[in-house]
Amino acid sequence: MVNIINFGILSFLIFIFTTVEAVVTPNPSAPTVAAKSYILQDFESGQVIAELNPDYLLPPASITKLMTAYVVLQELKMGNIGLADEVLISEKAWRMVGSRSFIEVNTKVPVEALLRGMITQSGNDSAVALAEHIAGSEETFTRMMNQYADNLGMVNTNYHNSTGLPDPNHYTTARNISTLSSAIIRDFPDYYKWYSEKKFTYNNIVQYNRNKLLWRDKSVDGLKTGHTEEAGYCLAASAKRGDMRLISVVLGTRSENARAQEAQKLMNYGFRFFETHALYRTYERITSTKIWKGDDNGLDLGLQRTLSVTVPRGRYKELIVNLNIKNPIIAPIMQGWQLGVIKIYLGDNLITQRPLIALQDIENGSWWRCLIDAFLMIIWD
């Protein structure tokens, strides 16, 4: 009788424990999002948390100016232009329709004022003025935009202008916008702060940022809105809570409020139910392996860049690391050579994989070492 009672109590406790655990770590599917296309992606790991039609070709409207700004920031980084450089405003720039930064024809405006006006107020006049200043014409500047898109791996993107005004040959995807947003945050941390500015004043005119999430959620610090009749209401947004940063892109929503609400819905879902961990840092030794015919017996293997993973909250300890190393490895070896693959699994699902690289050079060993190793390799086989 005692054993039966004890077994009953034990079963009850197991039931309670597993039930509480299930409540503590839920893993619901993504919310329904009222958009033609969307993507929610972790910045550090690059993993997609939720998506709908992320590769549909759609007009990006003024989200185009993320690439316009990316080109300008590259020019600043390379020293080809400076923030204080004065830009002569052409009649074409002055006459641009749509969102404006209120610049006057034949006046000179600093690059910084144009750039911040374009980022905050989405000024089409500022975009064209910057394009003409950098490349001589908007047409040539657009070719630069497409070249950078190719460099970033933005397949199925084509820019026809610097503003986002409608054109059949002007299109991109939610996935590509997320890629570009990540590149801006990663490559230009000193300038990215401008994307969180709620307003910008130039020529005594206050220009307000149309990204409503900057007012609603203090963790949101960028990026860009867009709207045309063809594109609907669009938003690329990023937020950071703790050590986790997410990027949300929603395209083709019905209103200003809707694009903010749907983006907020996605980011709340991502932060609540997922977590991101850095598993291995850049050039950190992950393992060592045997090296044959070299001036050293062992070779350290690691990664060229930090490896982070995003998993459902509470499941980090379930990750499985699989190392697949090329064998045999024979000297000479140069640092950076790919000599294997690291794969990260959650259960049976492959989460991510990266090349394993040599972390140091290994020169040829002495003739005696080479002779001994040649003999041992035969035995090893």
75 three-state secondary structure: helix
Q: Catalytic site residue 65? A: yes
Q: Catalytic site residue 77? A: no
Q: Residue 240 and residue 43: Cα distance in Å, rounded?
A: 9
Q: Residue 41 and residue 245: Cα distance in Å, rounded?
A: 9
Which of the residues 37, 45, 65, 178 is marked catalytic?
65
DSSP one-letter code for 64: G
Q: Residue 163 and residue 98: Cα distance in Å, rounded?
A: 9
Token pair, residue 346, equals: 């959650």
Contact 48, 274 (CB under 8 A): no
Which of the residues 62, 101, 182, 308 is marked catalytic?
62
- Count CB neighbours of 199 within 10 A: 11
Which of the residues 37, 45, 99, 122 is marked catalytic?
122
Contact 329, 368 (CB under 8 A): no
Give long-range contacts, CB 8 A cutoff, 24+ apart: 76-84: 76/111, 76/191, 77/187, 77/188, 80/134, 81/111, 81/133, 81/134, 82/111, 83/110, 83/111, 83/112, 83/115, 84/110, 84/111, 84/112
Q: Residue 45 and residue 307: Cα distance in Å, rounded?
A: 7
Geometric angle at alpha carbon 257, from 119 and 222, rounded to 5°: 30
Q: Residue 168 and residue 166: Cα distance in Å, rounded?
A: 7
The single residue listed with the structure tokens 């690289």 is 357
Write the single-letter amino acid at 265. K
Write the single-letter amino acid at 14. I
Contact 109, 129 (CB under 8 A): yes
Residue 202, beta-bridge partner list:
205
- Count CB neighbours of 108 within 10 A: 11
Write the single-letter amino acid at 84. A
Active site positions, annotated: 62, 65, 122
